[in-house]
Amino acid sequence: MTFLMNPLGAEPGRPGDRSAFSFEAITQLPSAADGLGREGRRYGRTGIIHTPHGDIHTPAFIPVATQAAMKAVLPEQMREMGAQVLLSNAFHLFERPGEDILDQAGGLARFMNWDGPTYTDSGGFQVLSLGAGFKKTLAMDVTGMQSDEVIAEGKERLAFVDEDGVTFKSPLNGDQHRFSAEISMGIQHKIGADVMFAFDELTTLMNTRSYQEKSVERTFRWAKRCVAEHERLTAERTGKPYQALFGVVQGANYEDLRRKAAGHIASLDFDGVGIGGAIEKRLLGQTCAWICDEMPESRPRHVLGIAAVDDIFAGVENGGDTFDCVAPARCGRNGAVFTRDGRWNIKRAQFKNDFRPIEEDCDCYACTNYSRAYINHLLRAREFNGFTLATIHNERFFVRLLDEIRASIDGGYFDDYKKETLARFYANGSRG
């Protein structure tokens, strides 16, 4: 475990060497008549993110190991399926086992025996998921629904925002916790991921224009505090590898707010940018292009929470370098599997005696060793092995999709690959 035992840029008694993190662009998509950036720019590209724990070849899909674990799948299996990097949730790791435990273990990667780079989010997503109670923020139908007090049906508000930060009520035990820019940075430094995100406020698409304006300014003030605290902790916590800090661009569906927020993040000393917030599906590619118009191209761009096949293509074409989402694993545990011919539910009765693999040309462990009938049985019986096999297949689907997109950009056939892939995937009306 070379990377785990000897991360780059970590020397006893010295701050982490920032040069151990960098981005190297390789191939840029050519501009086009229908390009969404300035003067027809298409910001899609291939590249390499260099981190203290190894390289990430982009575009890349980042599976989500929320609590330092992929549900039902071991880190070794994630590596075997081609995953380059994992993302964990700072808020959940703060709740259990606690950031001090991860710090004592030598950081997130060593704690979960993952031989590669790691990301952590900041807790900003919990501002929405615990505040308004929505787990999904992409492609919301918000017609006629403008309210700053919106709450999902049957949910209790568990997060309250003020100028200094957010007060959370724990979904585990009801305890009250406080997150601010400084607290989030302190927690993430101890967790020790290669890439951290600045603490931000994630609004819903239902919030009013007035609230969105205030939120963008508040997130900018928090971003400045995050940068200052990150610099202080980097200098103070000697002997650790450098942790990159990404700023997060908010602004919902508003072009002027997205551009303004991107300018805010570009003005600060961040290592990269996170494209965050609630985005209507129809505006995903355009929103990425607005942000890339305002950002230096030397910084890697991460699109938060995206895993629909058409959204992946829109995000890549318009500048996304990395993508994360819980959907492949969550869908798999419920029987929904992704294939080149669409997304369908393997728990359906028609697969009870179907002894073919989930997908004939898939090279994942599940498809090379087990049948639809067996996985159907496991999931119907709620056997954990079923969760494992379905998750392995779905995660491999998205890892491979991004690998093939990367190859198509380098090879100069992205447009053809996009057209053929989307036509086949959605031919039968797939929701994925």
Q: Is 342 part of any known ligand binding site? A: no
Rg (CA), the chain: 21
Which one of 121, 194, 271, 321 is the catalytic residue? Answer: 121
Which one of 103, 271, 311, 324 is the catalytic residue? Answer: 324
34 labelled catalytic: no
121 labelled catalytic: yes
The pair of structure tokens assigned to 360 is 């004939």
Q: Is 341 part of any known ligand binding site? A: no
Task: Tell me how many degrees the CA angle 417-420-421 measures, rounded to the nearest 5.
Answer: 80
Question: Which residue from 155, 261, 146 is spatially nearest to 214, judged by alpha carbons?
Answer: 261
Q: Is 315 part of any known ligand binding site? A: no
Return the residue matching tokens 């599906």. 281
Chain-centroid distance of CA 220 in Å reads: 21
Q: Is 292 part of any known ligand binding site? A: no
- Strand-strand pairing, 195-197 and 244-249: parallel
Name the β-bridge partners of 323: 61, 303
Q: Is 311 part of any known ligand binding site? A: no
Residues 6+ apart with CB under 8 A from 153: none
Q: Is 200 part of any known ligand binding site? A: yes
Q: Is 125 part of any known ligand binding site? A: yes
Q: Is 122 part of any known ligand binding site? A: yes
Binding-site residues for substrate sit at 121-125, 200, 250, 277
Binding-site residues sit at 121-125, 200, 250, 277, 362, 364, 367, 393
Binding-site residues for Zn(2+) sit at 362, 364, 367, 393
Report the catalytic residues: 121, 324
